[in-house]
Structure 1
Amino acid sequence: MVEIFRQQLESLPDKRTGKNSRYGMEDAAMSAFSVFFTQSPSFLSYQRTMEQTKGRSNAQSLFGVHKIPTDNHIRDLLDPVQPKEMFPVFETILETIEQKGKLQRFRGFANNLLMALDGTEYFSSKQIHCHHCSSRKMKSGEIHYFHSVVTPVIVSPHQSQVIPLVPEFIVPQDGNDKQDCENTAAKRWLLQHGSKYSAFKVTVLGDDLYSRQPLCQMLLEQQFNFILVCRPESHPTIYEHIEGIALPTVVVNKWTGKVQETYTYQYVNGLPIKDGDDALLVNWCELTVTRPDGKVVYKNSFATNHLITEQTVVEIVLAGRTRWKVENENNNTLKTKGYNLEHNFGHGKEHLASFLATLNILSLLFHTLLELVDDKYQLLRSHLPTRKTFFNDLRALTRYLVFDSWDHLLTFMIQGLELDLPPNSS
């Protein structure tokens, strides 16, 4: 996969026209990627020192970097490069996961893959900005500049991993006076990438922002199913239709280990999502979770195109609730679990912020790939107690020792923990 990645990087557009080409574009991009993959902001600094003292480095042996550019060189070379140059790598990794038979375990209700959509910010500043920045005016009159992105992710209620897909950046669009927004970016993603993913048989998950007729219709036109949060305050027509009628109800009691909770499901099919003769008909369901003292600990409702019955309502709601994994296991992981997505690694004047964010998301995807298909990586992650411990060890080892390959590094860690190597591995 590193070799496939490098081949894609070798095709990156190069703004340089003169003879100043000491560093290849692939070296600049792979160097940046190595920082995110190892979760070590100082990784390149350590490798430069290692190259001087040992004559070689892990940047070369593990990531295939021929010459390590300076941080300023990396920012300057990558600033003109658009994120879309990296999108084929996302698709290749997803194909690899499917070919290895690991995608099937992510399938849920109706044998669908669950694709959660969500927007998240990855840069914010009061001073630094570019023409791709969005902005908001605070009550104080101060202007805040920020970058944000829609992150489609394959999730499953039964899998701890998530599979990031090609992102869609929320940026001002040419010829449009309105500021770009999450909903518009999601539609743009569907038009550009929907046909590639609809063949996988997908149900799209999202919060209340997405459950509007134009987006729902676009999902259906692109041959996606959907289960989207549907709140009373934003869907008055739906709630007017169910007011005062007896709704089909399913009640399930669950023991949490400390207390028994009552799950009450209600549903109805064929409701107009908005007022008007052209309204799209959707199916609606709601889950209320209560404790024995009557306290409501969870309540949410969903609109879907899946037919809801007594037999399907529990699975449909479980699928709808799984959308939270795009926040917990993807966006929050990228922000708070070492990837440092919100850190300003470089803003640039053109695409640097979004290109580096793309490499950061890709680094999470590479780790997901390893968790799903690599026996040695799986063994290590199962025996190292936390993600933090694993990356602390990775940083320390690559700072002091040179490894010939990733296999050498993983084998060294396994032997250091006195574990048996997986079968069929050397």
Structure 2
Amino acid sequence: MTWETNRRNSIYTQLLRLLLIATFGAVVIFFVFDFTGEYVIERYLQETDYIEKKNQEYVDDLQEYVNQEQIATRDTHKLNEWVKKQQLLFIQVYKDDIQVYNSEYPGEEIWEEEITVEGYAWESYYQVNFADGTAEVTITGAYTYQLYNYVIIGELGISFIFFLVFVLLGIRKKIDYIRKLSEEIELLEGGSLEYKITIKGKDELTALAEGLDSMRISFRNLIRQEAEMTQENQRIVTEMSHDLRTPVTSIMLYTEILKQGKYKSKEQLFAYLNKIEQKAKRMKQLTDHLFEYSIIAGEREIELEELEQYEVLFYDLFSDTCSYLEQQGFRVIFQVKWIDGLLRISTDYIMRILDNVTSNIEKYADRSEPVKICSVEEGSMAGFFFENKIRNLEEKPESTGIGIQNIKNMMQKMGGKCIVEEKEGYFRLILLFPCVEK
């Protein structure tokens, strides 16, 4: 997944996209309700006498105020006080068809000769009895403005509720996913490592879930490897105990014979001493193998060397190995093709592996048949194999298989693998290493 894809699918981008969509939806809903509200208000005003009723209410209130205060048409100050108490109201007073008061100009004197009754068709005139006689009053109020304000407030409320609900529903999916991950983490804490973490989406939570699932798999594999290692250790200890018991018993037997002097000749004495020496060497060999195994098994991680050419890594090591085997009476067929590749290994481990291989060849290989060392490639891995004919002996040499197990452990720690094949009297050991570059 590229960086651009991560940015496009990040939680921040998703949240921004959610807010933009919610805002757009809220604006659309606002304009739809605003259009509908205006239409409803206009129809309501056309089909009812709402404005006439409101005008009449204010006229009745003005008449009551005039009666209480005994106001004349020229009492501008008193009329101004009444107008200020009302909300969004505008009045004009006409006496004898001359305008004597206009609430739009509360501080100006109005002369009778200046303004007369216009008599517009859309204006309604109401009779009000002042202290100085009856006058006609026109009232203009912002009643429709109030209605529109109420509608707009309602529209804003509905739009905000839609915005809030849409955002909460969008966030709820992420909250549910987080809650799901929390429940699955609790299952993992309880030891249910076989339970697969739910992975969905392409954002940071997805990356977190993938990391948790990878960690689960790593823990599961680690526990499985530890269980297998424990089982393997128990098997090796059991077999080693059995193998050690045999030479120890023989040594004790021959020692007892020598102590009691139960030998017939000097040649028999030296034969018994020779057998004791052989059994002691066998014990040393077994303990050396066990010590080597304990060291390798105890090494959790190793530091591999820098990348190097295949030929540079193995040329000298193979040269020494072939020379040693030839000195021991073996005929070696060396057919290694130096591939153009880079490997990362541990030279110390390779030297240990070759020591184990040559030791096994000396012990079990038939010297009348050649020992083959050949290169091999398998997918992205490259390496070599050793092949020899198994020697036929009346007394089969004792073997615990711990040497092969050591080789497998060292190959595994280097990221490679060891394959053992035995067929038609021939033994083959294949060593494969991950090839970083070709």
TM-score by length of 1: 0.20
Higher relative contact order (Cα pairs below 8 Å, separated by 6+ residues): 1
TM-score normalised according to structure 2 size: 0.19
Query: Greater helix percent: which structure?
Result: 2
Between Structure 1 and Structure 2, whose CA radius of gyration is higher? 2
